[in-house]
Structure 1
Amino acid sequence: MICALGSSLCFGMASVLQALGAREATPGTGAGVDVALQLRVMRKWRYLAGLSLDGIGFGLQVVALLTLPIYMVGAALAASLAVTAVAASWLLKVPLHRMEWAAVGVVCVGLAMLALASGDEGEQSSSEALRWAMLAAAFGVLALGAAAGRLPGRPRALALGLCAGFGFGVVEVAVRLIDSWSLANPAVYALLLGGVTAYVLLTSALQRGSVTTATAGAVLGETIGPALVGVIWLGDRTREGLAWLAILGFTVAVAGALVLARFGEPPTPSPEPEAEQEPAPTGP
């Protein structure tokens, strides 16, 4: 659980740092997902710092996924949006009001409820069909992300973030499906393709819209689907008689995170006033 919360902290801070780096990069031209943006942002130290935090967070996430049910880890990762909102108020100068602080508290309450109700990790063996399904899902995320990149305005940031969340969700499930790093294991390719696709989509979303809106889509995409897969196909369970508390805690945590998606829009810089033109000198 400490690893899950630690990964949430890392991912939340990384999102804001990557947003700063993405916005410092030269924006692309035309519609669609800007794949070349990933190369341009690699020159920005803030983005690289965020990437380093992502690496640490991913390592902590893997440890958590190997010892906790997926729904527990997913809900803990939803708390990264609360971290993102607080960090955005500090680094991006986005004010947080009472409702936002209340939403942060709601996320914490939901996590506490889940921690009380969480049972052991499922011990059901994964099927070969599920491994291939995850690889197909990774390709599906790639196609959906390409379509989301062509949406207009603010919906594009949310849609790109949501598709990125689907990609991260594929990674979560794939971690549980990898019993060996054999090149014949489709879950290995699902993890790699899902992770790379998710990063490219999230980077594009962070440059083109609100950091919390993009991250909220990612949180939604990486929590619900993997949690269902864990319960239905991998045997994740709750403590005896506490399934209702787990469902309530999961719902409360994710709902509190999604409330924050309404806020965090970076302030639009006001245009500089045009310099007053001095009257042309008149001759005698």
Structure 2
Amino acid sequence: MKKLIYDVFEIDVSPLNRLGHDPSIVAFGWWHDGELVANVSLYERRLWLSGERVEAYGVQSVAVRPEWRGKGLFRDLMVRALDHADARAGLVILSTDTPDLYTRFGFRAVRESFFSGSLPPGRPRPNCRRLSLENEADVALLLDLFARRVPTSLLAAACDHPALFMLKAVETPEIALMHLPELDAVVAVRDIDQAPMNLLDIVAPSIPSLEDIAAALGYGERHIHVYMTPDRLAWTPGEIAPVDTGYMVRGPYPPEGEAFMLSDMRI
């Protein structure tokens, strides 16, 4: 699968050989002469939606080599994958740039929102360090926090396996994973040296306030963007902006119609 994903999407998943693969992945594929020519994978998603824990499946690694398109392989694999998921969970989700491909399988688009606003005046108290996923001790620290993490939101959040989170960080150099030792937390921040700061995710056994996170990062600006549902951050956004992230669901989705965003820390 690694070669197919790289050839179609130019995403190198080989770092997961070192960082750890998600053991819940179930792959459905077509092979020709020993080469994988089409693939659809599922992985288990552990979600918090409207105050309830929900077990779901995510669809990922949907790829068909160009010369094999138009032969029904994608449809065959989607049917097989969804039969597998439907027997085990009531909700399947995905993100895509091509939603028309998935509406025929019962998926519908759900609009997410991002949140922005000001921080109360305060003094930065920098106490943070950028993690390196090339460093075994830093990887171990992050995995320990993942084992103890709580949902960032009770309205809409995910507590998935860390594989896709780490792969997103590897593939996106502008995302910094910052360890905040006083808060026992790692936060994912994009464009950390620019303003406004973009907060993407929090991995921690207790969710700190946004004010404490900003202070620990040494962030002295007043404005911030938050790309996750902010109900546990002790902060009220000044602006909520709907955005099309390609998010689609198949099955009941309790936060539908409300302002939410699942972390995009996944490939």
Q: What is the TM-score when the length of structure 1 is the normalising length?
A: 0.26
- Larger-Rg structure: 1
Q: What is the TM-score when the length of structure 2 is the normalising length?
A: 0.27
Between structures 1 and 2, the one with greater helix share? 1
